[in-house]
């Protein structure tokens, strides 16, 4: 495959993948099994929203490797449980080396959980997915074709901020849209369809 686009790599199994997946086994698994697959449900989307917020300013592999610790620290991302966290939980989380210890992001995760737990079941899912573009969009030909944000992610960010959510900027929301399958940003030629 000599004409392989530079934004694709051949994995150990011989499949062409988005180059960001590289050769790291955790990234390969994430790329192949999670990223870009439709994700539904308030709890899974709250988790993804929280982790995307924690990722701001860091690499995604850092968050991915810490995800098991995040899940433990944040009670499986059950919004009702996290919503009940208090100052002692914030201090516990600030002392947890297994997660990203950023007070503002921790407080935002708790505050956001309170908003989600006050919503009707399925409301977060419906709200986020309402900003997904039509699925007829073409896959990007290269990384250069990928935007940092879109009108949809900007509208989603505005809607969430209006509800009181924090750490939900347009770039964070676009990353959520990519990772939860609201958009298909696998590079053209990637085996994941």
Q: Which residues are catalytic?
A: 30, 52, 60
Q: State the CB neighbour count (10 A cutoff) for residue 115.
A: 17
Closest CA to 141 of 193, 182, 181, 189: 189
| Exposure b/e, 68-94, CB count within 10 A at least 16 = b | eebeebbeebbbeebbebeeebeeebe
- Return phi, psi of residue 23, to 5°: -125, 0
Residue-level length of the chain: 193
Whole-angstrom CA distances from 33 to 25, 37, 87, 158, 190 are 12, 8, 36, 30, 13
**Torsion-angle region of 80 (φ positive above 0: left; ψ -120 to 50: alpha; else: beta):** alpha
Closest CA to 179 of 18, 1, 44, 39: 39
């Amino acid at each position: 495959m000599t004409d392989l686009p530079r934004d694709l790599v051949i994995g150990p199994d011989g499949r062409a993948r988005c180059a960001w997946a590289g050769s790291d086994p955790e990234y390969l698994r994430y790329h192949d099994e999670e990223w870009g697959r439709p994700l539904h449900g308030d709890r899974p989307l709250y988790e993804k929203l929280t982790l995307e917020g924690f990722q701001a300013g860091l690499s995604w592999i850092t968050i991915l490797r810490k995800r098991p610790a995040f899940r433990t620290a944040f009670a499986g991302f059950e919004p009702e449980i996290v919503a009940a966290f208090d100052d002692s939980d914030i201090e516990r989380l600030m002392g947890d080396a297994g997660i990203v210890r950023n007070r503002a992001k921790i407080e935002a995760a708790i505050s956001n959980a309170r908003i989600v737990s006050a919503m009707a079941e399925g409301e977060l899912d419906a709200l986020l997915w309402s900003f997904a573009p039509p699925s007829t969009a073409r896959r990007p030909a290269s990384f250069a074709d990928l935007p940092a944000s879109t009108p949809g992610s900007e509208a989603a960010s505005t809607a969430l901020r209006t509800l009181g959510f924090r750490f939900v900027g347009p770039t964070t929301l676009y990353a959520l849209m990519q990772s939860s399958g609201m958009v298909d940003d696998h590079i053209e030629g990637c085996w994941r369809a």
